[in-house]
Each structure stands twice: as structure tokens, then as C-alpha cells.
Structure 1
Amino acid sequence: MQHRLINRQPASTTYGLRMRPEISVPSTSTHMFGGDNIAISGGQFYQAENIINHNHNHTHNCTMQGIDPLLHLLEHVSSSAFHNSAERFDPPRCHPNTRVEILEKIRDWAIQYGFDRKSWILWLNGAAGAGKSAIMQSIAELLLLQYSFVAVASFFFSRGDSTRNTIAPLVSTLAYQLIQEIPETSEFILSKIAHNPLIFRQTLDYQLQQLIIQPLINLPFHMRKLFVIFIDGLDECLDQDHQVNLIKVAGNIYIGKDIPLAFVIASRREPQIQFGFNQETVSHILENIPLDDSKASDDIRHYLNAKFADIKKTHIYRQSLPPKWPSVSTVTKIVEKSSNQFIYASTVINYISSPRADPACQLKVVHNLSLLNPSSQHPFAHLDSLYQHIFSQVKNLDQVLDILAFDILNTYGVWSGTTLDRAFFMEPNSLQILFQDLTAVIQVEFDGSYTHLSFLHKSLPDFLQDPVRSQKYFLDLEKYHTKLLCMFLGYSFLETPSSNNTDKIAEREYYRLLSIEILLMASPIPSDQLQQAFINFDSISLRHGMDEKSANISVWILDWLKRADFGDNGQAYQHILNLLAEGLAHSWTSYGNAKFKEYMKDLPDLCARIRELQPKLARLPSLNSLDSDEENPSHDDDIDDSISDE
């Protein structure tokens, strides 16, 4: 198998930075990383597929207990967290000739080595919309392009993506990238995994020491590189304790050690994160770069002028635009409203450049919005006014807000972004039409099979969840949680035009159950309304048999109900139990006894109810004794056959 996840392709831009020649280090000379004499290699690049093939050679040498360490590593990697991940296609970058000073400052800091280096952790911090992610993306690409003696790895946290909103996949993802960047570390890393397959369940500190620090230290001097780790959106890691612990662990790495490793961490200035960076072990090796400087205004002006020039060249209504449109004063007003935050300027451009409207008219709307609240001191006042206006143009607002609430509540992962149309029983193109008035702030794309929905910036979910900022567009997630669950629980496929299509009903039933599971995973607050919705719940597939996917989800829902406290003496639980038992009894022979033993080992009352509904199943050892399969493994198959014959 070939893997091409990390590849150094020449970038199309240098973002306007003054080209700094790569530091030339003869391959035979040595330089100092603290007290170690090391040689910095010229940085030969190995293509990813060659690395993987090379690693497979090591896999056979260090495989233990039947575990392939490379495959085991890949199972714990979050590829969506890479700076060049396909799932982060077209990520935000700095516009050419903007943020030049800050990019140069981070670049010059990152490529330092030897005794001259005073700090090993850089904290890029600022408010939402300040452009942190764009800077992180741009500088990571620049280092990969220009400096072969620097190896780069990245992890971009995202609150809405369960594959990268916790600390769990961090070290494994970095270790995979380390192998790609410095192939000579592969044997050491894979050997550690082979000898300790449970390493990914151990502490962050231990994982980092075993899979990052030790491989770097154990490299021969002539193979060493400076390894720079980019961690973006630390505040989007769900557990605040883990945010602080990551900072602490990073600081402790350098106590008594000289390691060619540097961290660039970007986040908002959350209190717990500030606390982490203020710790003594961190503060003395910290470079702090706040994004609140007045020079951002010049960059925003440059960005606006460039984008307005593009609109005048390419927009479908460009011929109606005046030659001097927009005026200098108009651009200045937008810069002032931005309050040094790129997100406002970016949203304005997205709104004005819509192909469905005249840019000049759209710009007038933006100008008039500022007249509604000219004296507000809130840094996001103008952005909020623009967001409110954009949502005021939405035709089917209730349905749009339902879908956005579902997307925010989802902790399942990228599922809601890839099959959201199926969750709401819509035709694929319908979602694009529904969100066509929100193209300035939300991206909806159909790839031929699935619809992908994504917020263009994380400031929009913040806006929608703040009642003061969003006002009538406020998403009260507690209320929407109950509303959406009741909607999915009460949906009847007998009312749909395709109810005579069994396969279509089964597919919709599966997505209905999956939507319920996703919402339950987000821990709704039990209420009388929700309890009544479960009591009224009915399902064609549950009553008359179900496929394996639906059965898995249904058993999970039943287990959730068993633990929930509705104060109804288990009435809702008993209703779903009876419904599920009826379907499982009907479908028993479709899966085999071993599968249902897995389902029901924690739900003996479900087993008992199935026996009542299907007396033939009373002879099954797994229902009478959940451990009897091991004593007589072949007996169940004989009974399954006898049931089928009858």
C-alpha cells in the first residue's frame, strides 16, 4: 500500500516575505544544540510512499503479538489534523503581502539553532478572527518549502471534529509526521509501538518522550534536524485540563535536556491557557506573540484593495461598477470596522462578491449597517451586524437553524458534514439550495455522493450561541437538543412518498437512528417532553427486523435509556426494550448467535424479553448462559440452522 499524506510540493506563493536564503551547513561540520555536538544534514527529502514501503521492512522485524506497528500507528492518527489534509481542503492562508512582519518573525524564530536560541515554545495568541490559523498554515508551508534542515509536523485542533478535538490522537499524529519528515526515526518509533501496543492509552508525557523525544535524541548527529511542531487552536481541545497539561508537558521537556525540538502553539487568550504559559517551567523559554498590533490595519487594507480589484476583473456584474469603485474612504471605513480582526474584512468580501447580487449594492448594504449602531464599543459589533443581516435574508430560517444546531451539537465527528442531507431526509442538492443565502459565511459543497457543510470561520458558532450578539438568531442548544430529538423520534416513514420502497425506508431508518444516537451522545437534559417522545417512538425496522448497523445503534440507544433518569420508573426504557426485542427476535438468524451475545451481554432483560417473543430461541445457550459459547462453541450454529429449517 502506498500512502502520500505528507509531501513537500513547491508552494505557489511566498506570501510576500523577503526571501531569506537557507542556512548552509556543510554535511561534515558540527553545530551546537545546547551541549550536544551535532551535524545538521542537508535535508534530503524522501517521498512518503518510499518511507512507508521502507517502514514495512522494519515492521516484520519488530512485530510482536501479531501487531503490525505501522498499521497500529495509522489507526491512531488523525489525518484531518495535518496542515495539508484533504479534509482541510483550501484552508485559510495569509493573503500575499499581508502579515509579512509577523511571518518573518515566526520564521526567524523557528529556524534558530544552537547556543543563540533563548526560547523553544512560541505562543501566537489573539481573539477570534485575528488570523491565527491563516498564519499557522502559511508559516508551516513556508518552512517546508524553504528550509530542508527543518522538519515540520502539525496538529490543527477543531472543536466540531471528534477526530481532532481531544488530546488523544496528538502524539500519534505527530509521530507519523516525524517518520515522514525524518525517515531514520521510523525503526525506533515502530519498535516502541511493537513492544508496547497500549502506548496510545498512556500519559501524554510518556507518549511524547517515547515517540518524539527519544527518536530525536537517538538519531546520529549527522541525521538530526530541527523538528518544529505546529499546534493550532489549542483552545478548541474540549478538555481544558488537557490544554494546560499539554503546555506543562511541553515545558518540562527541556528540563536538563538539549533537544532539537520547538513548539509553535496558537490559541485564543483563554484564562486556563494563559495560566499554563505563566508556569515557571514554560515562561522562561517562551516567545509570546500577541495579534493585537495596529499594523494589522495596513494588512487588512492591502487585502481589501486586492480583493476589490479581483471583483472588478471577474464578477459577472463588473461592467456596472464605477471606475473608481470603491472609494478610498469606503475601504477605510471597512478597515476601521474590522478592529484589527481579519474575519470582518473577509466576511465583507465574501458577501460583496456573491455572484447572485450586484457588488455595488451589496457594499451599500454593508455601509448602511454601520449606521444602525455607530457608537458601539464591542469589538465584534460590526461583524455581528453583518452576520444578523446575512441571516435576515434566509428564506427557510427555521430549517436552517435546525441544521446548524444539529451540526454544532454533533460530537460524532465529520459525519454530520458528509451526510447531513441524509440525516434530514433531503435530496443531496437540496441542502445547497437551502443554504444559498449563507454562502458568505457557510460553505456547502456536493461531491457527487455527499454534501459537505462547514463554517467559514469559528466566530459564527460563537455568534449564534451568544443571545446578546445573535438576538433572534440565537441557538439555545438546550432547547434545540430536545427539539431535534423529538423531531427524529416522531418521524414516520409511512408518510413519505417512497414508503413502498423497502430499501429506501431501511436507509432512512438507519440515518434516523444514527441522528438520534448522535444527539444522545451530546448528553441531553432529561425532560418530560423527551420522555414522552421516547414513549411515542415507533419504528418499522425495529418491529419487523433490522440490518446489523441499525441493530447496533438501537442497542446503544436502549443502553443509554437504561442509564437515563426520566423519573418515570423506566417506562420509556421498557417501551424501547419491547420494540427492540420484537425486531431482534424477528432478525435473529440474520446475524448469528455470537453477534447477539456481543450486543446483549450487558442487557439481560433484553435477552429475557426476546425469549418470550421467540420461544425457539430459549434453547440458545447464549441466552440461557452468556458464557456457554466457550464451553460448546459449535452448538449455537446447530441451533441457528434448526431455527432456519423450521
Structure 2
Amino acid sequence: LVHPGLQKLLEKSIPEATHDSSARDPPPMCHPGTRVNYINSLTKWGRNPDDHPNERITWVKGPAGVGKSAIAQSSADALGGDLGASFFFSRYNRREDPKRFFTTIAYELAVRLKLSRYGILLDEAICDDNTIIEKALHVQFEELIVKPIRKLEQQGEIFSTKVILVDGLDECEGSAAQESIVQIIAASLRKKTTPFLWIFFSRLEPHLISTFNRFGIAPLISHTELTISRKLDREIFFFLAEKLAEIRRKHALEESWPTEGDLHDVVDLSSGLWAYSHALTLFIDDPDSLGPKDQLRIVLSLARKIKQSGGTRHPLAALDLFYSELVLKRLPPKKLHASRTMLLATRLGVFGNHRSIPELVLVANFLGYSKDQLRNLCQSLHSVVSYDEETISLEFYHASFMDFLGDPARSNDLCIWSEFNIVTLFDRALQSLSQVSVIPSEGSSHRRISIPQQLWDAYVDKFDDFEYRFEISPGTHVLYWKVFDSLVRAFFKLAALASIDDIARRRHLLQIFDYRVTALPQNEYYGDNYDKPRLWYKVLERREMQSLCVKLSKLGLLRPLKNPSIPGRLREFLFGQRDECFWTLGDGVKRIVLVTGKNGYDGYIMPRSMRHLKQFTGQNPVHLLESY
């Protein structure tokens, strides 16, 4: 059967976020025989709602590294048919979009509740109004979940209680969205418009503590707290003993390896953190090392170093030492720099917006890494990330690694947000855009855009069916609009972050740069029509825009533009009733228009005029799109 409504819902969901998704395989799970009390308690709570009629939400809370995601995964598996849906947020694995949360939950419910007409009603609702899946969160919840269930009840169908499990709520993008999700669900439970039980896992963030303790929400909550405790040493010892025994058998090592004393030292090093013990086993089994014996020797050396220094200062200090001393500083300098640069590029948020092309492909394309180079870099981080060569994707085992790299107080000179790293990427974006040109198309009167970056051959055919080509000419690769779009967004994002005026050469390049290249018309999908040009688009969020404007003004590149010749209807569509400011960016005919707000809001760019753009492209800009 064809269900067009459900298909549209799937397209606006994140199927990779479910507990049984192949994207998370193998998922973090509790080792057999460990954390049993928590798993049993949560499954019992989920299967016996009559035992706690007022408590409809369980909040499992705790600091980083205590095993929240593993308990969540094991609990989801243990619930079996009592699980209605699940969602595992992950900031660093691009499963963080709140606008796709309720859509994913609704789609899962439709798939898992096979004997219910819920999926049919949901399909009909979306077919009647396709915009439902684009609405605000509270509207999505009402239209996709509450109303179909209400119709089922009116038709006499008994909708059984199911558990919906949500891991990593604190990794959902934006604290306001996190609070809103809890408030929407709590309001439904108070009104009894949905029959679900909810289990949330998250860190103890102040705004979430406040939300779960609010009047009207607190009576619905059952609390479970996970702590960093040396009481877990016995279970961690059991886990490490079995994992190292597996490694011993795999490498045919003697039965005496490791010694019991070695195991106790590794347990002590783990400091009560499950994330640490898991990372240590991956490090010891690193396929690119000299072998498990040598890797264990390095681990024990770190343990002795910590003991001699009098222990660690805070709970995550031992884990930080592992990340710095054993994961990163052991890399050759060139590979360390390349790894940090790659990880920074993934955090910019400009390469992960195109779901049809893997983010890592766009990052590697931008940095000029070949497929072999990318594989080599990712494998050197074996103990903290999983690299899938088939899908060209990274899965971070634990959020604490990128938390460490993003916090200069913890990672010091290893922090990925160093000025040197940011400027390195900015210079690359500036250099790449400076080489963009519009060239004649062979056998056609039209012109096409040439850009130095090249997508890997292996991905050309894969995306050729549904992506618009950027350029096709003899001896060059096929390039896509999305590659160019990511490059432009990276340029503006990095300009807002970097010290762009500290070197005379860079100041000169920015002053002679042809900014018209950033405002080339973009293809955008409108129904079945790919040919409509978009001559304006958003490049920066509010705070970044304010930073960029200050820097460009100091360079003399940003000047107020009075009475801009922008059609009133377009102006109203873009900015509504807001008080916008128009600026020109660049010099002479190379200028574009930059639009901000007097009180600060998102930044947009557009051509200064069609005449200026035509001088750059050599033809009517719209024809650039019509030829595709």
C-alpha cells in the first residue's frame, strides 16, 4: 500500500534517532549483568502504569559519563512490545533538530502500532494538510498525535498505554525547545489527551531542573538519579574483565593477561565512569596499534602518572587526561592538526544541512581530503568515534569527547575552537570562493559555474538522480549546488568567528574579493519545479551577524545603503514589519547587499543589482538556472 502522507512524514523525521536504527549500530548498551537494577526498575514502571497513576514521566538524570544512554538503550530493548517509540538525541551526531522530534515519534507510532488505525488516520491528516509537519512544536503534537488518538477513541478503539523513551534531551538544539517539549507533553498528560508514559534521560542542566520542578509538571514526575560513584567499581571490574578476555582470545594472548592487579588499576583509572571504561577497551583493542599488550602498558602508565600527581581534580579530569594524552597527543602533529580541523568543520553547522549528501563528504570536499585520507583520519580516532565507510559517517561514542574538545578550560591547546584552526578554515573558504568563475558550457549558449572543490567520483552517480549539477565539462567532476551553498555559508560563519583583520595579506584579499560570487542565484526545490531562482538567502544567525558587521565595518567594507531598490512585496516577505538595515558589502561593482536589523536579527545577502551580477556571470542570472 502507498501512504503518501506517511512518506512525507518520514522525510521530515530522523529515523537514525530510533533505538533500533542501523545508524546507531552497535548502540551503547549495558554489559550483561550490569545496571540491572535500573533497567528492571524502568521496565517495571513502564509496564505497570496502574501502580503509579499520577506519575506519567520518569526523569533519569545524571552527569556525563555515567551510562545514561546505555541504560536507555537496554531499557528500550527490554520493553519490547511495550515500547511505543524512542528518540536518541545526539548533538554531535546531528540528531538534534527539535522540529523533527514529534514527527519521528508519530512515524514510529504509526509503524509499531500495526493493529491500530492510527497510521491510516495520520496518513489522511497529512494528505489533507501537508503543512502540518512544518508547524510549531505544539501544533505538530496536537495534529500528529493528539487528534488521531482522539478519533480512534471516538471510533471505539482502545489505545493501550505505551512507553515513549527519549535519551539525551539536553542535546536537543536550544534550551527553549527542550523546555517546550517537556511542557507540551506534560500539558497533554494533565488533560489526559494521550495515553503514553514518557521516560526522559538527560544531564542535570539548570533549565531542565527548573522545568521538571515547575508547578503543574512536578506532580507528574518520578525521579531516578545516576551519580559518579566508586560503588560501581565492582560492575566496572566485571565489564573490563570480560572485555579484556575477549581481546585476549581474539589476539591469542596467554591466559595470564591481563593480571588481576592490572584490572584493578584500569578500574581505578575509570573513576566510576562507564564512558571511560568503554573508551579504554576500545583503545586497548586499537587495530592500528602495536597490539593489546602495548596499549594496556600505555594505559597503566597513565594510571601511575595520575596516582603520582595525587589524583584528579574533578570527576571528568581522568577522562580528559585519556582524551588528551592517549587519544590526541599520540597522533603525529600533521594528523592531529588535520583531525582537529575536520572536527571543527563538522561543528560549524553549515555542512550538515543537506540530508541527501553525507555531511562528512561535504567536509572532506571542503578540506580537500581524499576518501583514503578521510578513512585514515577517522580510524586514528578509533577509541572515540566509529567510522562507517559505506555511508561515510561518524558516530561519536560519547558526547564527552566533543565537549572536551570544545571547552578550552578542559582541552587547553587541543581545543578545536582555537583561533589558528578557525583562521585556517576561513582562509580555505576565501581561497576557494576567490577561484570560482562562470565559464561557457560546451555545446550551449549558457554559462556554468566552476568551483575548485571536487566531490568524490563514488558519490557522483549516487546523487545524480535528484541533485542539480553545478557544472559538467570535460575533465572535471560533477558539482552540486549544495556544495557551493555550504561553501558560502562556511565563508560567512568563519568570517564572524575569525580575526579577519590581523594580517595585511588577508585584509587585502578581503578588500579585492568579488562578493558577487556569494550572491549567485541558488536553486531551491518548489514542489516539482527545480528551476525557480532564489536571489536572496539567509547566511547567519543573529549573534554571528552582529560580530561580522563589527569586523567588516572596521575594514571599511560595510557601508549603509539608503533607499535600496528592493521590491516592496519581497521586502515585506523577508522582513515583515521589522526595522531592517541595508548595507553594501565590498567595493565598486563587486558589492552585494547585506541585510540586518537595527536591533539585530538573522542576516541575509542578495545581489546589489541584476546589472552587477550580469557583469560577473556574463549573462542574465536567471539563465544560469534555466539551463539546468
Cα 1:339–1:213 change in 2 (3 A) is farther
What does residue 468 of structure 2 align with?
A: none
What does residue 606 of structure 1 align with?
A: 609
Cα 1:193–1:244 change in 2 (3 A) is same
State the shift of 1:228 in Å: 1.3
C-alpha contact (below 8 Å) 1:160/1:410 kept by paired residues: no
AA aligned to 2:222 is E
Q: Pick from 193, 198, 202: which aligns with 1:267?
A: 202
State the shift of 1:249 in Å: 1.9
Distance 2:494 2:533 in 1: 15
C-alpha contact (below 8 Å) 2:536/2:606 kept by paired residues: no
Distance 2:538 2:60 in 1: 46
Quick check: 1:466 aligned with 2:407?
Answer: yes
What does residue 629 of structure 1 align with?
A: none
Q: Pick from 377, 396, 409: which aligns with 1:434?
A: 377
Whichever structure has more helix as a proportion of its residues is: 1
What does residue 121 of structure 1 align with?
A: 57
AA aligned to 1:607 is M
Distance 2:389 2:592 in 1: 35
AA aligned to 2:382 is T
Cα 1:482–1:606 change in 2 (3 A) is farther
Secondary structure in 2 aligned to 1:443? strand
- After TM superposition, the structure 1 = structure 2 runs for residues 330-479 of structure 1, keeping only pairs within 5 Å, are 330-355=262-287, 356-374=289-307, 375-389=311-325, 390-395=327-332, 396=334, 397-413=336-352, 415-447=358-390, 451-476=392-417
Secondary structure in 2 aligned to 1:281? coil
- After TM superposition, the structure 1 = structure 2 runs for residues 80-99 of structure 1, keeping only pairs within 5 Å, are 80-99=16-35
Q: Pick from 501, 506, 521: which aligns with 1:528?
A: 501
Encode CA deviations 1:475-500: one digit per residue, 9 max, x unaligned. 225653343122221248799999x9
What does residue 72 of structure 1 align with?
A: 8
Encode CA deviations 1:285-318: one digit per residue, 9 max, x unaligned. 2111111165533321221011011011002xx3
C-alpha contact (below 8 Å) 1:441/1:460 kept by paired residues: yes
Distance 1:546 1:222 in 2: 52
Larger Rg: 1
What does residue 76 of structure 2 align with?
A: 140
Distance 2:40 2:69 in 1: 16
Encode CA deviations 1:535-591: one digit per residue, 9 max, x unaligned. 45579x969x99969x9999668977999521124489336974999xxxxxxxxxx
AA aligned to 2:492 is L
C-alpha contact (below 8 Å) 1:227/1:260 kept by paired residues: yes
AA aligned to 1:460 is F
Cα 1:394–1:255 change in 2 (3 A) is same
Q: Pick from 428, 447, 450: which aligns with 1:487?
A: 428
Distance 1:95 1:370 in 2: 24
Encode CA deviations 1:59-108: one digit per residue, 9 max, x unaligned. xxxxxxxxx53343233222222222233232212222221111111100
AA aligned to 1:186 is G
C-alpha contact (below 8 Å) 2:404/2:410 kept by paired residues: yes
AA aligned to 1:481 is I
- After TM superposition, the structure 1 = structure 2 runs for residues 501-512 of structure 1, keeping only pairs within 5 Å, are 503-504=475-476, 507=479, 511=483
Distance 2:222 2:9 in 1: 32
Cα-Cα RMSD:
4.0
Instruction: Kindly report structure 1 stretches of 4+ aligned residues shifted beyond 6 Å.
Output: 492-498, 545-549, 551-563, 613-616
State the shift of 1:109 in Å: 0.6
C-alpha contact (below 8 Å) 1:513/1:554 kept by paired residues: no
Q: Pick from 160, 171, 175: which aligns with 1:236?
A: 171
Q: TM-score, normalised by structure 2?
A: 0.73
- After TM superposition, the structure 1 = structure 2 runs for residues 615-626 of structure 1, keeping only pairs within 5 Å, are none
State the shift of 1:386 in Å: 1.4
Distance 1:509 1:248 in 2: 39
AA aligned to 1:517 is R
C-alpha contact (below 8 Å) 1:126/1:291 kept by paired residues: yes
Distance 1:610 1:391 in 2: 46
What does residue 193 of structure 1 align with?
A: 126
Distance 2:376 2:532 in 1: 33
AA aligned to 1:333 is D
AA aligned to 1:139 is S
Cα 1:606–1:352 change in 2 (3 A) is same
What does residue 232 of structure 2 align with?
A: 296
Secondary structure in 1 aligned to 2:216? helix
State the shift of 1:612 in Å: 5.3
Distance 1:296 1:576 in 2: 67
Distance 1:123 1:224 in 2: 24
What does residue 18 of structure 1 align with?
A: none
Cα 1:533–1:438 change in 2 (3 A) is farther
C-alpha contact (below 8 Å) 1:158/1:236 kept by paired residues: yes
Secondary structure in 2 aligned to 1:350? helix
Q: Pick from 140, 149, 164: which aligns with 1:216?
A: 149
Cα 1:610–1:376 change in 2 (3 A) is closer
Q: Which runs of 5+ in 1 are unaligned?
A: 1-52, 57-67, 582-600, 623-635, 642-646
AA aligned to 2:201 is A
Identity of aligned residues (%): 24
C-alpha contact (below 8 Å) 1:478/1:524 kept by paired residues: no
Quick check: 1:327 aligned with 2:299?
Answer: no
Q: Which runs of 5+ in 2 are unaligned?
A: 437-450, 455-471, 525-530, 560-583, 594-603
Between 464-473 and 212-221, the greater mean CA deviation after superposition: 212-221
C-alpha contact (below 8 Å) 1:419/1:452 kept by paired residues: no
AA aligned to 2:203 is R
Between 110-119 and 553-562, the greater mean CA deviation after superposition: 553-562
AA aligned to 1:349 is T
Whichever structure has more strand as a proportion of its residues is: 2
Distance 2:298 2:406 in 1: 25
Secondary structure in 2 aligned to 1:459? helix
Between 438-447 and 605-614, the greater mean CA deviation after superposition: 605-614
What does residue 220 of structure 2 align with?
A: 285
C-alpha contact (below 8 Å) 1:152/1:228 kept by paired residues: yes
What does residue 24 of structure 1 align with?
A: none
AA aligned to 2:87 is F
Quick check: 1:174 aligned with 2:147?
Answer: no
Q: Pick from 107, 116, 129: which aligns with 2:43?
A: 107
Cα 1:95–1:195 change in 2 (3 A) is same
Distance 1:497 1:481 in 2: 19
Q: TM-score, normalised by structure 1?
A: 0.71
AA aligned to 1:269 is L
